[in-house]
Chains A and B, each alone.
Chain A
Amino acid sequence: MNAPSSGLQKFLADQEKKSLLRFLTCGSVDDGKSTLIGRLLYDSKLLFEDTLSALEKDSRKFGTAGEDIDFALLVDGLEAEREQGITIDVAYRFFATDKRKFIVADTPGHEQYTRNMATGASNSDLAVILIDARKGVLIQTRRHAYIASLLGIRHIVLAVNKIDLVEYSQKIFDDIVADFALFARDLSFASQMAIPLSARHGDNVISKSSSTPWYSGPALLDHLETVDVDSALANGPFRLPVQWVNRPDLDFRGFAGTVASGRVKPGDAIAVAKSGRISRVTRIVTMDGDLPEAMAGDAVTLTLADEVDVSRGDVLCDVHKRPEVSDQFAAHLLWMAEEELLPARQYLLKLATTTVPVTVSALKHKVDVNTLGHLAGKTLALNEVGYCNFSLSQPLAFDPYRDNRDMGGFILIDRFTNSTVGAGMIDFGLRRATNVHWQALDVNKTMRGTMKGQKPAILWFTGLSGSGKSTIANLVEKALAAEGRHTYLLDGDNVRHGLNRDLGFTDADRVENIRRVGETAKLFLDAGLIVLVSFISPFRSERRMARELVGADEFVEIFVDTPLEVCMQRDPKGLYEKALSGGIKNFTGIDSPYEPPELAELTIRTVEAPAEIQAEAILRHLRDKDYI
């Protein structure tokens, strides 16, 4: 044995007692973030000998610090960025002192990588914002402070770095602090601490520097070790988003998840947020035996006294203080994708353990991160922040983000690329949803259809301008009418003269155009009609949205597949000629994309047979599938 075991006991006991602080560092390019983290790791004696010798070797090869050790090289991990000298992603570092354990998220200062900063901020309690003393408060500094505040970080350290390069000037430091305070006034941070330091030379990093006698505050590490960031989550109302229903056999049914806030004990009454059903907790089950109590942050499995219907996505909650349940809410949204946000397009929202389809029903305003002012806008581009109303396809249980990150923070996922495109922070639910109830009607769609001797359906014709959609749709409608069927034809051009006269041809407007037509078609379908829709409808997402508004067997997608050259040659309305000469912007096929269907029920190739034969094929399909 190397050490007396009482020494070990004490060591382990000390480890147990240490609290964890998760913080992120952010700053502009070359502010010295990586150097600062490297310095913290180095000075807190956490570097191993082999890491250190590799570092010394690297410093000579890549370093920018001359003969000295370049601490930044310790932190920058990826080959490409090491050569460019910029951090381009979030990197996590771990170190510990006698008082605390730390997880550092190192996030980039580059403007286009703001989304990474949001990622780092989402799990941090404190942010260290670096400022180059020579440059002062920059646009990025403001952006970083705003994002930190938006993501609910309540504690800020303003690290005024490279103070050695301005001769340790108190005036410069004071000016920067005043400048920042003016901006941060509206950001509601609980604590703000400004520290003059030099990461390169170690001034005020681990211990107070004699070069800044005018500075009376603590060194950075002192502050990080002692700042109180305890959140009130454990004292909040009980919330447990159900992650997994545990059913090893017929006798056991447990609901597993991580407690998002509050506490729970056996015997407590709980409610299922969405259904409102009430039960009582019987056991808190773990492998090491049942627990007398569980609190925020614990991963547990609960069993209930009654056979209530609970599945993944449900939230178990305090009976008296329940979360909001609504299908509409207002939230801040940070956009994180190259492709811009399209209001009215359907995305997937994932909050805690629930995933539901969602659309942005209104973009109330964008936020100018430099002035915190409000701007009007129709879409959000990469790294832009907006305040939006959201509309969900089914109700969701949530709390405001400021009360609980787990219950109020969500991501948006693109339905086709599956990428994470946005991060949202819920502000409050919109009451409208709770008050407008669906009216259950006695005469329904099936009955109306039966009276007309048909099965209602939407025939959705999609294809390029001039492909022959309207011609064929017309022929189909005439044939149906001749058989005594009840139909209605919605044509792109005609609808744009009335219902959609306020819409243009930008991507955002095209999406809204199709949304309205989809909803209109749905109403006609409900009336028992066979609805023919003849729209270019160039985007897959919106056709899918229209499809999902109605039942699976009520939507027939017909792809009128005519090559672009043929359409241009036909050019029945002279539109291609105008578009080519620049007279029309955003023309599908010319300077706006057409995404052909992947799973259309029918594909019509107009170059292979005349329109009459094609219309006949469609009618045959309707008969085969028992629509008529």
Chain B
Amino acid sequence: MREVAAEFVNPVMLYSIGKDSSVMLHLAMKAFFPAKPPFPLMHVDTAWKFREMIAFRDQTAKRLGLELIVHVNEDGVKRGINPFDSGSSLHTQVMKTESLKQALDRHGFDAAFGGARRDEEKSRAKERIFSFRNRHHGWDPKNQRPELWRVYNTRINKGESIRVFPLSNWTELDIWQYILAENIPIVPLYFAAKRPVVERGGTLIMRDDDRMALLPGEQVQERLVRFRTLGCYPLTGAIESDADTLEAIVTEMFTARTSERQGRLIDGDEKASMEKKKNEGYF
């Protein structure tokens, strides 16, 4: 992280409010202590995040005294893009991928931190820690810069940028252990609680507000659930669990038999979908 702060003109930390972002932010606070991290946080808001995430986000920025930029793709909002009618694929494309590019362009950021990990998904495993993006934010997996030792090539031309993934070599279990060891605050949604959920297509969706219309035969039920991963509420599946403390979550983790991205509805859209999104500029 200090490497980025030293070598780039205008870096930013993409803050997604999830547990990985919380760990990444905590590391940044440590890396620059006693100074503050010399870059702002940015959240690309799709307008469909859980309300508790937004509250946590604002409170975190305030607590740490950091600048927070919130970007929403206004164009997408005007077009009425939403995960129910537009489908998860278009929603993600417009409200996340396009929106992220817009935000990076508007502020002229030349380096952006992201909390992605190599163990999350197959194409992420081949990502560099310092990942070069062309003027159009595209990623070319066949033409990546070799990355040796801990020596990172940070040189870019005007308009090009680098995405930096400090948590590349962390696993999901590492993340939870670190949160536990360092007592890092996380969004309450990770803890089990009674929440209003709807069962749709085999997945438990939390009805976070009344924009979610019920389909015939669907019922809102109060169930004891928590989330292993957080995104847009209509696209994020909950799991039934009674793990309401960090200790209980870690215990649940080491007996878990399903991977965390299973709760993400966007990955199943089509084969190799993550790789496609990345070529287009998704994180």
Q: A3-B251, A93-B125 are in contact. Are A413 and B153 (CB under 8 A)?
A: yes
Would you call B146 and A423 a contact (CB within 8 A)? yes
Would you call B125 and A77 a contact (CB within 8 A)? yes
Task: Say which residue of B30, B171, B250 sits within 8 Å of A12 (CB atoms).
Answer: B250
> Which of chain A's residues 121-168 have a Cβ closer than 8 Å to chain B?
122-123
Would you call B35 and A7 a contact (CB within 8 A)? no
Would you call B126 and A89 a contact (CB within 8 A)? yes
Q: A49-B258, A50-B262, A119-B146 are in contact. Are A243 and B155 (CB under 8 A)?
A: no
Taken residue by residue from 441 to 474, chain A's Cβ proximity to chain B (1 for < 8 Å, 0 otherwise) reads as: 0000000000000000000000000000000000
Chain B contact residue count (CB 8 A cutoff): 59
Q: How far is the CA of A500 from the CA of B24 in the complex (A)?
A: 57
Would you call B150 and A258 a contact (CB within 8 A)? yes
Contacts of B142 in A (CB 8 A): 80, 88-89
Would you call A7 and B251 a contact (CB within 8 A)? yes
Task: Say which residue of B34, B153, B242, B250 sits within 8 Å of A252 (CB atoms).
Answer: B34
A15 within 8 A of B: yes
Which A residue's beta carbon lies closest to that of B276? Answer: A79
Q: How far is the CB of A117 from chain B (nearest CB, A)?
A: 10
Contacts of A286 in B (CB 8 A): 30, 33
Would you call B31 and A256 a contact (CB within 8 A)? yes
Would you call B145 and A420 a contact (CB within 8 A)? yes
B32 within 8 A of A: yes
Task: Say which residue of B5, B32, B144 sits within 8 Å of A89 (CB atoms).
Answer: B144
Contacts of A92 in B (CB 8 A): 118, 125-126, 168-169
Taken residue by residue from 229 to 255, chain B's Cβ proximity to chain A (1 for < 8 Å, 0 otherwise) reads as: 000000000000011010110111011
Would you call B151 and A312 a contact (CB within 8 A)? no
Contacts of A348 in B (CB 8 A): 155
Would you call B148 and A423 a contact (CB within 8 A)? yes
Task: Say which residue of A50, A351, A418 sits within 8 Å of B153 (CB atoms).
Answer: A418
Q: A48-B258, A77-B125, A122-B148 are in contact. Are A2 and B153 (CB under 8 A)?
A: no
Task: Say which residue of A82, A89, A96, A119 sits within 8 Å of B148 (CB atoms).
Answer: A119
Residue with the highest number of chain B CB atoms closer than 10 Å, among A91, A254, A352:
A91
Q: How far is the CA of A288 from the CA of B121 in the complex (A)?
A: 33
Would you call A78 and B126 a contact (CB within 8 A)? yes
B213 within 8 A of A: no
Which B residue's beta carbon lies closest to that of A408? Answer: B149
Taken residue by residue from 179 to 220, chain B's Cβ proximity to chain A (1 for < 8 Å, 0 otherwise) reads as: 010000000000000000000000000000000000000000
A440 within 8 A of B: no
Q: A12-B250, A256-B2, A418-B155 are in contact. Are A246 and B148 (CB under 8 A)?
A: no
Question: How many pairs of A and B residues are in contact by the CB < 8 Å rule?
Answer: 158
Would you call A116 and B146 a contact (CB within 8 A)? yes
Q: A12-B180, A94-B171, A248-B35 are in contact. Are A51 and B259 (CB under 8 A)?
A: yes
Taken residue by residue from 129 to 163, chain B's Cβ proximity to chain A (1 for < 8 Å, 0 otherwise) reads as: 00000000000011011111111010111000000
Task: Say which residue of B31, B125, B153, B173 sits within 8 Å of A91 (CB atoms).
Answer: B125
Residue with the highest number of chain A CB atoms closer than 10 Å, among B3, B32, B141, B148:
B148
Contacts of B257 in A (CB 8 A): 48-49
Q: How far is the CB of B41 from chain A (nearest CB, A)?
A: 18
Would you call A285 and B34 a contact (CB within 8 A)? yes
Q: How far is the CA of A406 from the CA of B276 in the complex (A)?
A: 35
Q: How far is the CA of A252 from the CA of B36 in the complex (A)?
A: 13
B29 within 8 A of A: yes
Task: Say which residue of B32, B145, B250 sits within 8 Å of A246 (CB atoms).
Answer: B32
Q: A50-B262, A94-B119, A248-B35 are in contact. Are A15 and B151 (CB under 8 A)?
A: no
A328 within 8 A of B: no
Residue with the highest number of chain A CB atoms closer than 10 Å, among B243, B251, B252:
B251
- Interface of A, helix, strand, loop or mixed by DSSP: mixed
Q: How far is the CB of A142 from chain B (nearest CB, A)?
A: 21
Which A residue's beta carbon lies closest to that of B38? Answer: A244
Q: How far is the CA of A254 from the CA of B2 in the complex (A)?
A: 13
Taken residue by residue from 220 to 257, chain A's Cβ proximity to chain B (1 for < 8 Å, 0 otherwise) reads as: 00000000000000000000000110111000101011
B123 within 8 A of A: yes
Contacts of B259 in A (CB 8 A): 48, 50-51
Contacts of A301 in B (CB 8 A): 33
Which B residue's beta carbon lies closest to that of A51? Answer: B259
Contacts of A252 in B (CB 8 A): 34
Would you call A78 and B123 a contact (CB within 8 A)? yes
Which A residue's beta carbon lies closest to that of B242? Answer: A2
Q: How far is the CA of A5 from the CA of B243 in the complex (A)?
A: 13
Q: How far is the CA of A304 from the CA of B262 in the complex (A)?
A: 50
Q: A50-B262, A348-B155, A423-B148 are in contact. Are A287 and B30 (CB under 8 A)?
A: yes
Q: How far is the CA of A351 from the CA of B276 in the complex (A)?
A: 34
Would you call B275 and A419 a contact (CB within 8 A)? no
A263 within 8 A of B: no
Contacts of A116 in B (CB 8 A): 146
Contacts of B153 in A (CB 8 A): 350, 411, 413, 418-420
Which A residue's beta carbon lies closest to that of B152? Answer: A350
Contacts of A119 in B (CB 8 A): 146-148
Which A residue's beta carbon lies closest to that of B250? Answer: A8
Contacts of A15 in B (CB 8 A): 173, 177
A366 within 8 A of B: no
Contacts of B33 in A (CB 8 A): 285-287, 301
Contacts of B66 in A (CB 8 A): none
Q: How far is the CA of A319 from the CA of B249 in the complex (A)?
A: 49
Would you call A419 and B125 a contact (CB within 8 A)? no
Q: A77-B126, A94-B119, A243-B6 are in contact. Are A409 and B148 (CB under 8 A)?
A: yes
12 residue pairs bridging A and B, Cβ less than 8 Å apart:
A2-B243, A8-B250, A77-B122, A78-B123, A92-B118, A118-B148, A243-B2, A248-B35, A248-B36, A287-B29, A409-B149, A411-B151
Chain A positions within 8 Å of B, measured between CB atoms, are 1-3, 5, 7-8, 11-12, 15, 48-51, 75-80, 82, 88-94, 96, 103, 115-116, 118-119, 122-123, 243-244, 246-248, 252, 254, 256-258, 285-288, 299, 301, 312, 336, 348, 350-353, 405-406, 409-411, 413, 418-420, 423
9 tightest A-B contacts by CB?
A: A77-B122, A248-B35, A48-B259, A122-B148, A244-B2, A79-B272, A287-B33, A418-B155, A91-B125
Q: A82-B272, A418-B156 are in contact. List 8 more A-B contacts (CB 8 A).
A: A5-B247, A12-B177, A78-B126, A78-B272, A90-B126, A92-B168, A96-B173, A413-B155
